[in-house]
Structure 1
């Protein structure tokens, strides 16, 4: 399997600053989904390692169901992922390596009896929460009274 190797130097200070600001967890989308799940009574642990190997640290909802919110840029989203112009060869390999690691983690988790649900960061947080609740066998929330 090809791994892209160390990151090339940033093409500018603006790019360097942008990537330094990029969080690894607790993104706005993750927090929005977590708020919706919590409001629906779904409890979970964040950044859990289900086994000693580091392939995945899913958010674990009670009921042995796990959702991993996948970043569109870093994991090569087919609908909104894009490659930067600078260092194109390296950036072409990076999301491919992440996707391959994701598939390996899915296989390991599934082999341990977990059900893995992956969602893209561009997906509507309400839709993601609905899908997680459906996988947990929880009823959809009632629409608000008008």
Structure 2
């Protein structure tokens, strides 16, 4: 009887883990960014290991190109990210999950007064690295 109880408990605990969907994860990231992520470390927790390496390389490149400090470049990066997240209202159009990867397609509308004559979209690729992480983002503005 005790073994049956333990098996039932184990099944309920593992079966009830409610993993966040890829779109819920990305929308939570977008809301956090719009609210103002304040450090690179906070932002990095949403990114895949590959994306974090890519971002580090871009920051170093911008530091060399602009002769600005790392803090200045990071502040500019976070400010631009915040501005885009605040000014773009996103609507999920498509979510495709295949194993440990996901592709999201969002339509977006500018809510800050900038009008576009072309449809605006966001394509987001995620990977599961102990939870969903952003691996690549393409935003049409």
TM range (shorter): under 0.3
Q: TM-score, normalised by structure 1?
A: 0.23
Q: Looking at both structures, which has the greater relative contact order when contacts are Cα pairs under 8 Å and sequence separation is at least 6? A: 1
Q: TM-score, normalised by structure 2?
A: 0.24
More strand by share: 2
More helix by share: 2
